[in-house]
């Protein structure tokens, strides 16, 4: 399993992987059929009466099987969610938590498990929960560095403890019912993690709550009492430190904010913070948009990653000089900041798959409402939206990354072909927002563009100081964009993006991609793309 993201995902295409897995499932089905044939063939005398199953299983024990199985699954999926928020939904995200989950089954049900082993896992769980809360807190903040270690330790401890409980509660005869209930509990846990938790919890805290439940179960088993006072004291002892840390962290986050609101659905979490100067929209790992609201003029200014001196700002301004009207396609709405650039007669088409993002941009930010041009917002996957669109664009902006996770399907060869078809008539530019802590996607995008006879230019802009009319709320933030265009447009683009502006107030690194003769860059396609080719594993594990 560990080798899957390291070798199989990188070397074998998706079609071949699907064919391989289908073949293996058919082989498994055949082996099960053969085994069944031999078992049936070895039956004794048909008149022989089999041993009567006399074991009576109380419904409470069946419910305990179901609940513990579901809790263990929720813990594993919660850990996977934390990792995927940083590095994307790829085998690299699930191999650790899922591997620990499966390993716990193999070890616990091997026949060598002892009651004292379950007790040791309880101590391991308490230590891991303490380390995880101290290194990360209770929010969906970045999971990297030491937090990764404690995360994997916590999911492993929870899986071993949960399966240890199931091993102790197993029946002596009715194993078919036992494993059926365990399977049903796993399905229920998966459904809850996917659909129930985003509704019940505004933050991804279900993972920590599962750990607290297991610790309470362990404490009550040690006390061997079930009266109300014992339960209340146990809950206080187990949950007190975690709740205290949650209160402390929430208080620190709220300092300087007049209002703090959180939103969550199946697509992720968002936090809207109202400060003295304006609004900040973030996922607690990445800021997705800001707006200055001190006066009507200020709120119309593009901010953060979209300011006038960023690559996207400069390309829009220069294109507007050449064309009386222009049309922009944007994948990813954020706060709707790009709408600030629209003039009367301009058209901006937004696509965002997350209804939560559309609601927040419409209800809490004014970029959309103040837009001078024609604005269209569609809830859909941006790639599919552009594929279905009939319009031609002067500019397409891809900024649909949630946190530092990379939606690979937006960067494949087939995706770039769709974008460039929409840009071909107007000789437009494709801009991909690539600011990222742990992944370097420029070589991947550049190699993919090269396969289509296109050029890729890496642009990193840093604003040293703001002015009365430009670059608000962006000082000191390096903003990276990858511009994909035709080779004949590179010199024009470099003229628009000088290395230095305003006597050093704005500095840029502009680097067209020219591969070395010995360099083998990986081109991403719908059939073959691996997150590991863009992820800097060392930087992620170090938490830099």
pTM: 0.82
Write out pLDDT tens, residues 459-473. Answer: 999 999 988 888 888
Look up the domain containing 537 and give its range. Answer: 305-542
Domains: count for the chain: 2
Write out pLDDT tens, residues 362-372. Answer: 999 999 999 99
Lowest-confidence pick of 132-146, 165-179, 293-307: 132-146
Let me know: does 93 contact 102? Beta carbons within 8 Å. Answer: no
pLDDT at 53: 60
Whether residue 247 is found in the same domain as residue 347 = no
**Is position 288 within any domain?**
no
**Is position 2 within any domain?**
no
**Is position 284 within any domain?**
no
Say whether pLDDT at 80 is over 90.
no
Whether residue 474 is found in the same domain as residue 376 = yes
Residues 106, 102: Cα–Cα separation, whole Å: 7
Q: What is the SS3 assignment for 149?
A: helix
Whether residue 84 is found in the same domain as residue 228 = yes
Whether residue 309 is found in the same domain as residue 239 = no
Of all helices (H) and strands (E), which one includes residue 358? helix 355-363
Helices (H), 88-145: 91-108, 115-136
Mean predicted confidence (pLDDT) in 323-336: 93
**Is position 85 within any domain?**
yes
Whether residue 196 is found in the same domain as residue 328 = no
Confidence of residue 435 (pLDDT cuts 50, 70, 90): confident
Whether residue 234 is found in the same domain as residue 116 = yes
Write out pLDDT tens, residues 93-110. Answer: 788 899 899 999 999 998
Mean predicted confidence (pLDDT) in 188-209: 87
Helices (H), 192-269: 197-200, 206-223, 228-254
**Is position 13 within any domain?**
no
Confidence of residue 269 (pLDDT cuts 50, 70, 90): confident
Question: Does 495 or 276 have the greater pLDDT score?
Answer: 495
pLDDT at 27: 92
**Is position 289 within any domain?**
no
Let me know: does 345 contact 351? Beta carbons within 8 Å. Answer: no
**Is position 352 within any domain?**
yes
Whether residue 132 is found in the same domain as residue 229 = yes
Whether residue 130 is found in the same domain as residue 225 = yes
Write out pLDDT tens, residues 238-260. Answer: 666 666 666 666 656 555 555 67
Whether residue 318 is found in the same domain as residue 450 = yes
Whether residue 225 is found in the same domain as residue 361 = no
Residues 105, 168: Cα–Cα separation, whole Å: 13
Residues 308, 469: Cα–Cα separation, whole Å: 9
Instruction: Residue 251: count other Cβ atoms within 10 Å of its Cβ.
Output: 9
Q: Show the tokens assigned to 424.
A: 């071909």
Question: Given the structure tokens 């419409």, which residue do they identify?
Answer: 362
Domain of 500: which CATH number?
Answer: 3.40.50.150
Residues 339, 375: Cα–Cα separation, whole Å: 8
**Is position 188 within any domain?**
yes
Picking from 220, 253, 286, the residue at the C-terminal end of a domain is 253
Q: Show the tokens assigned to 78.
A: 């919660």
pLDDT at 461: 93
Whether residue 236 is found in the same domain as residue 313 = no
156: closest CA among 235, 100, 72?
Answer: 100
Let me know: does 419 contact 432? Beta carbons within 8 Å. Answer: no
* Rounded (5°) CA angle 289-293-298: 95
Whether residue 242 is found in the same domain as residue 312 = no
């Amino acid at each position: 399993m560990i080798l899957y993201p390291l070798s199989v995902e990188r070397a074998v295409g998706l079609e071949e992987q699907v064919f391989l897995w289908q073949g293996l499932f058919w082989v498994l089905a055949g082996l099960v059929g053969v085994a069944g044939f031999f078992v049936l063939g070895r039956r004794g005398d048909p008149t022989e009466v089999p041993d009567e199953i006399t074991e009576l299983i109380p419904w409470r024990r069946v419910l305990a099987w179901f609940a513990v199985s579901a809790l263990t699954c929720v813990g594993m999926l919660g850990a996977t969610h934390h990792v995927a928020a940083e590095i994307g939904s790829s085998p690299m995200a699930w191999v650790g938590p899922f591997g620990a989950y499966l390993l716990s089954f193999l070890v616990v049900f091997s026949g060598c498990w002892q009651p004292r082993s379950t007790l040791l896992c309880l101590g391991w769980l308490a230590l891991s929960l303490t380390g995880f809360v101290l290194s990360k807190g209770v929010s969906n903040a970045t999971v990297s560095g030491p937090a990764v270690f404690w995360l994997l330790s916590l999911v492993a401890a929870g899986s071993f403890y949960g399966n240890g409980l199931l091993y102790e509660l197993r029946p002596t005869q009715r194993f078919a019912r036992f494993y059926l209930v365990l399977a049903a509990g796993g399905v229920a846990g998966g459904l809850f993690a996917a659909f129930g938790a985003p509704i019940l919890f505004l933050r991804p805290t279900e993972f920590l709550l599962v750990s607290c439940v297991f610790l309470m179960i362990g404490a009550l088993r040690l006390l061997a009492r079930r009266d109300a006072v014992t339960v209340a004291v146990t809950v206080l002892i187990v949950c007190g430190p975690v709740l205290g840390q949650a209160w402390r962290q929430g208080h620190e986050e709220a300092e300087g904010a007049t209002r703090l609101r959180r939103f969550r659905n199946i697509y992720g979490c968002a936090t809207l913070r109202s400060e003295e100067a304006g609004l900040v929209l973030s996922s607690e790992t990445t800021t997705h948009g800001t707006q200055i609201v001190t006066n009507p003029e200020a709120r119309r200014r593009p901010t953060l990653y979209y300011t006038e001196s960023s690559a996207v700002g400069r390309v829009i301004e220069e294109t507007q000089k050449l064309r009386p009207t222009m049309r922009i396609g944007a994948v990813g709405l954020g706060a709707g900041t790009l709408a600030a650039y629209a003039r009367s007669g301009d058209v901006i088409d937004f696509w965002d798959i997350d209804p939560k993002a559309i609601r927040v941009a419409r209800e809490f930010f004014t970029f959309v409402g103040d837009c001078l041009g024609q604005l269209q917002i569609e809830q859909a996957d941006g790639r599919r939206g552009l594929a279905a669109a009939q319009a031609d664009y002067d500019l397409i902006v891809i900024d649909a990354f949630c946190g530092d996770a990379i939606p690979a399907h937006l960067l494949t060869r087939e995706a770039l072909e769709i974008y460039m078809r929409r840009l071909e008539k107007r000789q437009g530019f494709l801009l991909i927002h690539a600011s990222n802590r742990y992944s370097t996607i420029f070589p991947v995008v550049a190699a993919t563009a090269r396969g289509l006879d296109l050029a890729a230019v890496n642009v990193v802009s840093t604003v040293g100081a703001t002015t009365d009319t430009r670059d608000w709320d962006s000082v000191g933030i390096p903003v990276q964009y990858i511009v994909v265009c035709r080779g004949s447009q590179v010199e024009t683009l470099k003229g628009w993006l000088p290395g230095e502006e305003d006597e050093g107030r704005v500095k840029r690194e502009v680097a067209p991609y020219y591969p070395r003769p010995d360099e083998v860059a990986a081109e991403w396609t719908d059939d073959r793309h691996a997150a590991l080719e863009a992820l800097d594993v060392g930087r992620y594990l170090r938490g830099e």
